[in-house]
Amino acid sequence: MFLNLLFFTKLILLKVTGKATPLTVIFNVTNRCNLRCKHCYAAYFTRSSKDEMNTDQIKKVVGGLKKAGCLRINFCGGEPLLRPDIGELINYAKLQGLSVDLTSNGILVPQKTNELKNIQCLTLSLDGKNNHHDILRGKGSALKTLQAIKAAKKAGIQVRVNMVVHKYNLADLDYMINVARKLDFKLHISLAISNIFGDKTEISIKPTDKQFRQVIKYIIAQKKQGAPILFSQTAYESVLKWPDFEIEGVMNAPAPLGMPPCPAGKLFGLIDADGRFWACPHLIDKVKAKNVLKVGVAEAWKVTRNHPCTGCYQVYHHDFGHLMNLKLPVLINYIKAAIGRSEYGN
């Protein structure tokens, strides 16, 4: 609770001063992955692991993030639980006074609950009914995710689950909301991408523009009725204003009307497994970046804000963008989530 209060206090101060600080950072600690998800826009399983940071290097970077004003870190990958030192890294980051989250596909969670005991929250991916999840992530992976949720909950680890809405699971929202209620977790509902800024995933998974809008309206309606959906109603409402879901992001042009300020490179960033500091995961290898191992965290962070992206339809960016703009309903939504309320308001 203290870290949550500190986060909101610092957010207000940063808004008032206009200072850019890496308040919350995704830290990809490995490119290795034990799944080959067909819709992985970064295709981590095809990337080399030879330049990944070792334990001491990661600890040094974590210290640099703390010094630069970071309060929250999310260890990601690839699959972060493939690192044998992941428990040591989690414990070190917590000792630095950081709130530590971890994002995993869940396969190794039942064997790694002891290493995860000091995280604030574990985020797992479950995209709907078993066959609709497995079609993209691999046969049997949905059951393994469900086992991971139960194992983590049994170990006292807070769990959140991310559902990516794609053309195969459009009818699974009620199923996921019911699972969330039954297993007592908060649900992130994100929207699929396939070619943001020119990249392509292995297969086309996007619904039509009309289908996306129908889904978003349904999410808003469920949110109003108290469904355990984490992102704010305000965020989904601004995503609904996105002019055309065939377009996934805007670069070198003004953001569409009604979009919140983008937090990338202002209060949010990503450090890749080789040490490069990016404003956003969608900008990896598309803009210039500096390496924290070569120039330090503070210097690399300065470069992240110099990017031409002005907006996208990703719900988490809208939610955090509204939060950094201190929009009251979104602040209330975050506070309710932080104290464990199951009904999140706006």
**CA–CA gap between residue 136 and residue 194 (Å, rounded):** 13
- Quote the pLDDT of residue 199: 56
Of 125, 108, 229, whose CA–CA distance to 180 is shortest? 229
- Average pLDDT of the segment spanning 289-314: 96
Q: Which amino acid is at 179?
A: V
Q: How far apart are CA 309 and CA 262, in angstroms?
A: 9
pLDDT of 16 reads: 78
Tell me the C-alpha distance between 321 and 9, whole Å. Answer: 16
Return the structure tokens found at 34. 């034990």
How confident is the model at residue 342, as a pLDDT?
42
Q: What number is the average pLDDT over the span 155-168?
A: 96
**Could you tell me what percent of the chain has a pLDDT over 70?**
91
| Under 8 Å between Cβ of 309 and 249 | yes
How far from the centroid of its chain's Cα atoms is residue 325's Cα? Answer: 19
Q: What is the mean pLDDT of residues 267-294?
A: 94
Q: Which CATH class is domain 2-13+21-338?
A: alpha beta
* Average of per-residue pLDDT values in the chain: 90
Which amino acid belongs to residue 278? W
Question: At 9, which amino acid appears?
Answer: T
Structure confidence at residue 343 (pLDDT): 43
Output the pTM of the full model: 0.92
From the CB of residue 249, how many other CB atoms can be counted at a distance below 10 Å? 21
d(CA 126, CA 107) in angstroms, rounded, equals 12
Q: Return the higher-pLDDT residue of 344 and 139.
A: 139
Residue 300 has pLDDT above 70, yes or no: yes
pLDDT, residue 345, reads 44
Q: How would residue 141 be classed by pLDDT, with cut points 50, 70 and 90? A: very high
Segment 39-86, tens digit of pLDDT:
776 666 566 667 899 999 999 999 999 999 999 999 999 999 999 999
Sequence ranges of the domains in the chain: 2-13+21-338
